[in-house]
Amino acid sequence: MRHLMYSLSAQKMYLYILGLVAPWFAYRWYKNSRRVPNKEDKYVYITGCDSGFGNLLARHLDKLGFNVIACCYTEKGEDELKENASDRLTTFHLDVTDSKSVSETAALIKTVVGQKGLWAVVNNAGVALPSGPTDWLTIDDYKDMIAVNLCGVIDVTLSVLPLIKKARGRVVNVASVFGRVTPFGGPYCVSKYGVESFNDSLRLNMAPFGIKVACIEPGFFKTNVTDVVGMQNNLRKLWDRLPQDVKDDYGPAFLNDSIEMMTQRFSMLTDSNLMKVVSCMEHAISAVHPRTRYSAGWDAKFFWLPVSYMPTCISDRLFRKITLL
């Protein structure tokens, strides 16, 4: 009898929980599915559109009806993007490490958007090389990458922030899951941690003005940034310039072992479906209620982020096992 009563109580409890959870999921789905109206009146400024996420996002938003201002580093990137987009899409040359280029682009954008203001800026431009053990690198290696990945993000954002205030729009910063956890050496993680911090402070500062700030944190995806051949050549180049005493510290087999392990990890972790990231970007731009953070990729959600919450002694031991760098 007691067993029967316990069973009935358990069933009631499960039904009660289900009755609470189901409406919550329905509300969450409804909230996430709502999109802003009048896309044809909204301008979106994207950096780093030569290839990868930026290129795909520019074409995707163009198809959705937004007025896209796509900035490329190369003339070839501009020409190829124009060939695959509508007449609404505008391209400009931009070097995010050059403040003069950034300010000139901002002035051009001001003339394009007029009194409507700028609905969103997507800080997508970034680089990943050089990357390697910390004592293989120079301060210039750090400065060069931080100039693109962090200072470029800040400079571009500040240059158009008055236009975004006018539209009560969005700032979307592309960081990385490696702005939350550091499994390898070099300036990449340093720069992405900086983007995370800038994103957080900007979100707090801009909230009173109705501006929403979102951070995209992709895992490993197959782009030019994660090109295996480029990564291999980068390691060889760094190794070749090392003093002999540093090479002796690591041993003669270290370089080949590192390249082999890196190649295995990249083949296992990299995802070729870039739309997983682009869909997060699009939601941050077009959703009525965008999230503050988007983790894109199975490795980000189920490995890197959980590891970031582990005690340091555990994560350090894990990283030493899965990487030589």
Q: What is the 3-state secondary structure (H, E, C) of the chain?
A: CHHHHHHHHHHHHHHHHHHHHHHHHHHHHHHHHCECCCHHHCEEEECCCCCHHHHHHHHHHHHHCCEEEEEECCHHHHHHHHHCCCCCCEEEECCCCCHHHHHHHHHHHHHHHHHHCCCEEEECCCCCCCCCCHHHCCHHHHHHHHHHHHHHHHHHHHHHHHHHHHHCCEEEEECCHHHCCCCCCCHHHHHHHHHHHHHHHHHHHHHHHCCEEEEEEECCECCHHHCHHHHHHHHHHHHHCCCHHHHHHHCCCHHHHHHHHHHHHHHHHCECCCHHHHHHHHHHHHECCCCCEEEECHHHHHHHHHHHCCCHHHHHHHHHHHCCC
For the chain, list the domains and their CATH numbers.
28-224+272-316 (3.40.50.720)
Summarize pLDDT for 275-289 with one digit per residue, the tens. Answer: 999 999 999 999 999
pLDDT at 263 over 80: yes
Q: Which residue, chain included where needed, has tokens 């919450």?
A: 309
For residue 9, is pLDDT > 90? no
Per-residue model confidence (pLDDT) at position 139: 97
- Catalytic hit among 188, 193, 250, 309: 188
- Supply the pLDDT for residue 63: 95
Does position 2 have pLDDT exceeding 80, yes or no? no
Residue 90 in this model has a pLDDT that exceeds 80: yes
pLDDT > 70: percent of the chain = 89
Q: How far apart are CA 252 and CA 257, in angstroms?
A: 10
Averaged pLDDT of the chain = 90
pLDDT of 15 = 65
Query: Residue 291 corresponds to which tokens in the numbers above?
Result: 């999230």
Per this entry, what is the length of the chain? Answer: 325
**Reported confidence tier of residue 47, pLDDT bands at 50, 70, 90:** very high
Q: Which of 137-151, 217-231, 300-314 bottoms out in mean pLDDT, i.e. has the lowest? A: 217-231
Mean pLDDT of the region 5-27: 62
- Give the pLDDT confidence score for residue 319 in this predicted structure: 87
Residue 154 has what pLDDT? 98
In this prediction, residues 278-301 reach a mean pLDDT of: 94
Determine the Cα angle at 43 with ends 41 and 46, to 5°: 160
Amino acid at 80: E
For the segment 64-92, the average pLDDT, to the nearest whole number, is: 94
* pLDDT at residue 6 in the model: 52
Instruction: Indicate the pLDDT class of residue 160, thresholds 50, 70 and 90.
Output: very high
Query: Which residue do the tokens 């941690």 mark?
Result: 193
- Whether 309 is catalytic is no
Query: Quick check: 54 pLDDT over 70?
Result: yes
Question: Rounded CA gap, 55 and 81, in Å?
Answer: 7
Six-digit token pair at 97? Answer: 């490490």
pLDDT on residue 8: 52
Measured CA to CA in angstroms, residue 165 lies from 182, 204, 261 at distances of 34, 14, 47
The larger pLDDT score, comparing residue 23 to residue 59, is at 59
